[in-house]
Structure 1
Amino acid sequence: MRHRTKTHLLTEEQISDLFSRSEVGRLGTYSEDGYPYILPMHFVYFDNKIYMHGLPKGKKIDNIKFNSNVCFEIDEMISLLYEGVENPCDVNTEFNSIILRGRASLINDFNEKHTALSKIVEKFTPHLKNKELPEKMVKGTAVIRIDILDYVGRYYK
């Protein structure tokens, strides 16, 4: 398996496409108790950054305030590759994935929050993209930005 991780790399175009079409990614943060914390999050990718939104309080917010170093993972399982396989240990998976490291921050700038939330609306509820976002909702929603330090996209077919 280790050999494949260096030879089955997604192109930048494939990575960009996977970022665009994926709806859920997994955010990994550090807890003060020393344990990692991973949770699925809806997200949008633009300007080489990941944006997510949620409640302004909770474990993910506390963790980001404690340590802004995060990881983020996206994957899609396409199919199991078992046709003609006799040994269960030889079954494999066709997949695409991206793993990245970055620094998370809570956005306070109203314009950046509004832009990020508008992009999220456009991605997940495009039929509502022309509706104005209420100022109170923008101000009351936590928006998390991940500034990407590095990433790798992998596939297997």
Structure 2
Amino acid sequence: MRKELTRTKQVLDKQTVRRIIETSVYGVLSLNGDDGYLYSVPLSYVYSNGIVYFHGSPRGYKYDCFQRTDKTSFSIVGQSQVVPSVRANNFQSVLIWGRLQPVADTAEKLSALRALAEKYSPGIPDNEDEIQHSLNYVFMTKLVPEWITGKQAALEVRETAEKL
């Protein structure tokens, strides 16, 4: 697994990486698909206690791919702004490498579902009712990070974008 970024001047600091992971709305997860093809799927997620959680239906193609994938990567774009004058994108992104594991423990599943509800539906009065209703049929998996990197656009692109 390649870990270090080649362009070290574009590395994001740990605080910015964490902010992007915690506040972004979705990321793209790479799974093992059929016939040797990768299946990259955009997913809602929540980052809690250093773990990335995903939820979904316990049937269908995505579920099947989760079952045959252990090692994976998850990409999150925290910012993207086209800067035409320098023919570039003023971006910030995070890449998480790690291993997928099904969440079997009920307490952990409840905690993750509550964190998802708080992230995507804060303050909705019936969140707990929906969580309890879905607890027995929602499939949940977690990505345990082994390596996390963050990258941003080159300095010239960032400086030009600030002037726009």
TM-score by length of 2: 0.83
Query: When you count helix as a share of all residues, which structure comes out higher?
Result: 2
The yes-or-no answer on 1:152 pairing with 2:149 is yes
**Inter-partner Cα distance in structure 2 for 1:66 and 1:36:** 12
The yes-or-no answer on 1:70 pairing with 2:66 is no
- Over the residues paired in the alignment, what is the CA RMSD in angstroms? 1.9
Q: Which residue identity does 2:137 align to in structure 1?
A: G
Q: Shift in Å at residue 64 of structure 1?
A: 2.2
Unaligned runs of 5+ in 2: 159-164
Report % sequence identity: 23
Q: Which residue identity does 1:22 align to in structure 2?
A: S
Of residues 103-112 and 113-122 in structure 1, the stretch that sits farther from structure 2 once superposed is: 103-112
Partner residue in 1 for 2:42:
40
Seen in structure 2, the aligned counterparts of structure 1 residues 111 and 129 have a Cα distance that, compared at 3 Å, is farther
TM-score by length of 1: 0.86
Matches within 5 A, 1:56-135: 56-82=58-84, 85=85, 90-128=86-124, 131-133=127-129, 134-135=131-132
The count of residues paired between Structure 1 and Structure 2 equals 149
Q: Shift in Å at residue 5 of structure 1?
A: 3.0
**Inter-partner Cα distance in structure 1 for 2:52 and 2:61:** 19
**Inter-partner Cα distance in structure 2 for 1:33 and 1:113:** 31
**Inter-partner Cα distance in structure 2 for 1:28 and 1:78:** 21
Contact 1:77/1:96 (<8 A) preserved: yes
Contact 1:77/1:93 (<8 A) preserved: no
- Listed one character per residue, the Cα deviations across residues 78-114 of structure 1 (whole Å, up to 9, x for unaligned) are 32222xx3xxxx4011010001111111112111110
Q: Shift in Å at residue 132 of structure 1?
A: 2.1
